[in-house]
Chain A
Amino acid sequence: MIPLRKKPTTQLPRGLALSYNNLMKIDITHVAKLANLQLNSQEKEKFEKQLSETLTYVGKLNSIDTKGVEPTSQVTGLENVIREDQIKPSLTQEKALSNTFSEHNGMFKVKAILE
């Protein structure tokens, strides 16, 4: 095997791991409410443990110094993708409603959101 000459320009950070070994706690009741999920008490206990373990693991990112590093949300660099604003055939009202259990007079029926 031939070692590659060029040194990689990105080096492992020397920063210290912050509280990496302390278990992260998650407020499962609050998060479930935000996510609109109903959990029973058994589920709460199980998910709290499992999610705390995962959060503790991902906490290892804290040991990386990311000061001044730009976040990447689009990996291929495409920007401002647009198309002609033309009306084209789309689903009929009937088809758009074909999978709902909650229809009234050709419309989706939802619960009242205002008193």
Chain B
Amino acid sequence: MSERAVVLETRDLTMRFGGLTAAHKFSIQIQEGRIVGLIGPNGAGKTTCFNMITGFYKPTEGSVLFNGQDITGWSPYKVCSAGIARTFQNIRLFRNETVLQNVMIGAHLRQKTTWWHALFSLPSFWKEEREVREKAMGLLEEVGLEKLACEKASSLPYGAQRRLEIARALATEPSFLLLDEPAAGMNPHETQDLMRFVKDIRDKFKLTILLIEHDMKVVMGICEHIWVLDYGVTICEGAPEVIQADPKVIEAYLGEEAVKDA
């Protein structure tokens, strides 16, 4: 694995909720263009780390650097405009809006015209509005939802909702994408599709992707580097093969006896 520029770096990120330390000295370095994973048992603090990176939580200690810039404590919308987009573990679509509108809302971030342009019906407004629509349609085609563009987002089947959420995130033109359990609730066939899809969008949109996942097939299949969290502490990191063989990881997932038996 050749060395590449580091896109995202966290230094000793720590998050305490009262007496509970949800994440302790979380330090990672992610290189450009890689797909990397963050795994760990339930309640290990994976989503907390996501929330600290994307600005939803202000870390108690530590810092987040994105392309060398310190983005610690930025509000989520600023983090997003810097180029970090995310999806949610429990899908959070705009339920009352159509599929197309959902993606257009994501595309809004890069839109230059504002509300008063709409009132005066300026040609630049109509042009950009059309461009946003076309861009959103293009992204929907990318994820295979173009036929459902006019459906209400909440009426989509589960797998399609996941893909829509990714399309919406892509509409913000990110260079870094965080996926929170993208394969949750999918059957093996859908999971296969998803793995191919994640790799495709990485290549097509020149993304770096960090994902949280429980499905080991996905993690071992597409991640080039993995961090393992348990009770907020990073217990292991490395390539998939290294992780699979590590007794500490097996212990965290399966308990002490499993290690002895192995």
Question: Are both chains from one complex?
Answer: no
